[in-house]
Amino acid sequence: MPAKTSRRKAAASRPKVLAGTVFITRQVHFNAAHRLHNPAKSQKWNVAQYGLCTNPHWHGHNYVLEVTLSGQPDADTGYIMDLSALKRILQRAILDPCDHHNLNEEVAFLRGIIPSTENLVIAFWQQIAPYIKAPARLHRVRLFETPRNFAEYYGPGIAG
């Protein structure tokens, strides 16, 4: 019976499903200006706290952003999420507003926030999270300010 045969063949060629929670990361980068400055404090306080990082003429960084999702690989695709789709999300949520921009002056979702690496990972999480649809879950936002300094955030439910 051909129908049965072809059904059997299709079953045979269906990919083997591997079960388990996997974490998948995509790295992107952007270049931005910023300064560390608390406008509620005196210039003297700011210089004592931040040194050169509070320079009113700005400085900047090649930021490297790594975003990690968790989930089970999909039975049909083997993907937690297509990383090209994640890249497009990061382009819209983070790179379009931040790349070649001034993090203190030009980014709506950072208004009023001191752009320390610590604050940036929380703010970036808040921007990215709404785009990540179940069953994928946003697991971690990691941001390198330089190759020697980075911050990581695992979401509001995690105590360090």
- Of 26, 129, 131, 132, the residue at the interface with a copy of itself (CB under 8 A) is 26
Catalogue the E-assigned strands of 48-105.
59-71, 101-102
For residues 142 and 121, the answer to whether their CB atoms sit within 8 Å is: yes
In the bound state with a copy of itself, the residue whose beta carbon lies nearer, of 2 and 20, is 20
For residues 125 and 142, the answer to whether their CB atoms sit within 8 Å is: no
| Given the residues 29, 59, 100, 118, the one annotated as active site | 100
Site for a copy of itself in 51-80 (CB under 8 A): 51-53, 55, 57-62, 68, 70-71, 73, 76-80
Is residue 145 part of the annotated active site? The answer reads yes
Is 21 a residue that touches a copy of itself (CB under 8 A)? yes
Q: How far apart are CA 41 and CA 101, in angstroms?
A: 25
Is 128 a residue that touches a copy of itself (CB under 8 A)? no
Instruction: Please state, in angstroms and as integers, the Cα–Cα distance from residue 80 to each residue in 21, 71, 143, following that order.
Output: 9, 6, 22
Is residue 100 part of the annotated active site? The answer reads yes
Provide the annotated active-site residues. 53, 100, 145
